[in-house]
């Protein structure tokens, strides 16, 4: 089993010496560097460039610069996606993002983790657990989403939260660690006065 196959299976793997993974990361870094250098006003060129980085991005998807990812080919994004500045996705495993997701500035989505055991960690071993973000989700600025987390549909994740556990659909969740504050309901509808 290759190191890439181990990563995809959620097993411990070593990305530091595997030629295929190193080459994939370097290719992604080059693509991200080129994307981040595109003039802000050239939205069409940016749209085309991001399609060459991530595996999938739906219609109306837009990622502000700068954007960084490990591989890109493990990122699948639905339609009408928007990310503000400085999104980092460590996509050592699959990252699936639904439709109508909005992400604030300076957020991180991290599928990669390292063993608690120092000997294993010092050997360069790591693991990768996929992350799923449902549709109609708003993620506030400075949020960090940890390996293996699923965020349900119709959620709001408060700014600065560190999401370490699954979040059910239809809730506001905040904090470090992120916890459900309450369900979203009629009181959250803003009416014009």
Q: Active-site residue numbers?
A: 114
Q: Which two tokens stand for residue 57?
A: 């991005």
Tell me, yes or no, whether 54 lies in a domain: yes
Instruction: Give the CATH number for residue 98.
Output: 2.160.10.10
pLDDT computed for residue 158 by the predictor? 98
Query: At 121, is the pLDDT very low, low, confident or very high (cuts 50, 70, 90)?
Result: very high
| Residue-number span of the structural domain to which 57 is assigned | 3-181
| pLDDT > 90? residue 190 | no
Sheet holding 131-133, edge to edge: 56-57, 75-77, 95-97, 131-133, 150-151
Structural domains of the chain, count: 1
């Amino acid at each position: 089993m290759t190191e890439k196959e181990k990563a995809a299976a959620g097993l411990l793997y070593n990305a530091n010496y595997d030629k295929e993974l190193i080459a994939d990361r370097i290719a992604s870094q080059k693509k991200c560097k080129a994307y981040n250098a595109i003039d802000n006003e050239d939205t069409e060129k940016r749209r085309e460039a991001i399609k060459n980085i991530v595996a999938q991005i739906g219609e109306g998807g837009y990622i502000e610069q700068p954007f960084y990812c490990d591989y890109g080919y493990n990122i699948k994004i639905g339609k009408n996606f928007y990310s503000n500045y400085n999104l980092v996705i460590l996509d050592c495993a699959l990252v699936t993002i639904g439709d109508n997701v909005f992400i604030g500035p300076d957020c991180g989505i991290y599928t990669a983790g390292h063993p608690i055991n120092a000997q294993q960690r010092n050997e360069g071993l790591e693991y990768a657990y996929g992350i799923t973000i449902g549709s109609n989700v708003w993620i506030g600025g400075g949020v960090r989403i940890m390996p293996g987390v699923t965020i349900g549909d119709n959620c709001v994740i408060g700014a600065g939260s560190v999401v370490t556990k699954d979040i059910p659909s239809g809730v506001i969740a905040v904090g470090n660690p992120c916890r459900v504050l309450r369900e979203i309901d009629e009181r959250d509808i803003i009416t014009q006065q």
